[in-house]
């Protein structure tokens, strides 16, 4: 299974920059499947998952945006109290550190899709599979 490709884009923290970036992506016919924005005083990091990662990277490069590709793991988390805690416990017991995570909307009742960036993807995937946790394929995430 290939990793889900997340694109992290550095965005100046000034009025209109985020709108400019998302318009560029939208005008190119690229659909955002998931996103997370973290900011500092001077810049933000927009983490996105899109339906066309390669085209998005080309578009960003051609338009002077600074970005980085990061492999992430997508997991179907039961949408119940403690659902995320169970996933995190599985990763912790396997010695995997979660660097960050974010959830996004899916169309399956009773589940919340969540993206995890971990320090050891191979160990994380093995632990999640052993625990019977549903791992999202790139196609599932890109097609949302």
Q: Which domain holds residue 111?
A: 71-142
Asked if residue 8 has pLDDT above 90, the reply is yes
HEC string for the chain: CCCEEEEEEEEECCCCHHHHHHHHHHHCCCCEEEEEEEECCCEEEEEEEECCHHHHHHHHHHCCCEEEEEEEEEEEEECCCCHHHHHHHHHHHCCCCEEEEEEECCCCCCEEEEEEEECCHHHHHHHHHHCCCCEECHHHHHCC
pLDDT at res. 141:
87
pLDDT at res. 107:
72
Statement to judge: residues 43 and 83 lie in one domain: no
Write the pLDDT tens digit of every residue in 66-106: 999 999 999 999 888 999 999 999 999 999 999 999 988 77
Mean pLDDT of all residues in 113-123:
94
Statement to judge: residues 128 and 65 lie in one domain: no
pLDDT at res. 57:
97
Asked if residue 144 has pLDDT above 70, the reply is no
Write the pLDDT tens digit of every residue in 31-68: 998 999 998 888 899 999 999 999 999 999 999 999 99
Q: Which of 45-49, 60-64, 107-111, 117-121 has the lowest mean pLDDT?
A: 107-111
pTM: 0.89
Q: Which residue has the higher pLDDT, 13 or 23?
A: 23
pLDDT at res. 19:
95
Asked if residue 1 has pLDDT above 60, the reply is no
Domain boundary among 31, 46, 70: 70
Domains of the chain: total: 2
Domain boundary among 46, 70, 94: 70
Statement to judge: residues 77 and 66 lie in one domain: no
Instruction: Supply the CATH number for residue 52's domain.
Output: 3.30.2130.10
Statement to judge: residues 118 and 129 lie in one domain: yes
Backbone angles phi, psi at 122, to 5 degrees: -60, -45
pLDDT confidence bin for 2, thresholds 50/70/90:
low
């Amino acid at each position: 299974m290939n990793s889900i490709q997340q694109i992290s884009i550095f965005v100046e923290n000034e009025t209109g920059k985020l709108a400019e970036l998302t318009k560029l992506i939208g005008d190119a016919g690229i659909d955002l499947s998931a996103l997370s924005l973290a900011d500092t005083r001077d810049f933000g990091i927009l983490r996105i998952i899109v339906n066309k990662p390669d085209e998005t990277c080309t578009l960003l490069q051609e338009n002077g945006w600074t970005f980085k590709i990061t492999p992430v793991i997508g997991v179907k988390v039961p949408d119940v109290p403690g659902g995320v805690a169970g996933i995190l416990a599985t990763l912790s017991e396997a010695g995997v550190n979660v660097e960050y995570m974010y959830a996004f909307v899916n169309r399956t009742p009773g589940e919340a899709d969540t993206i995890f960036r971990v320090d050891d993807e191979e160990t994380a995937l093995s632990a999640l599979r052993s625990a019977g946790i549903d791992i999202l394929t790139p196609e599932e995430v890109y097609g949302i």
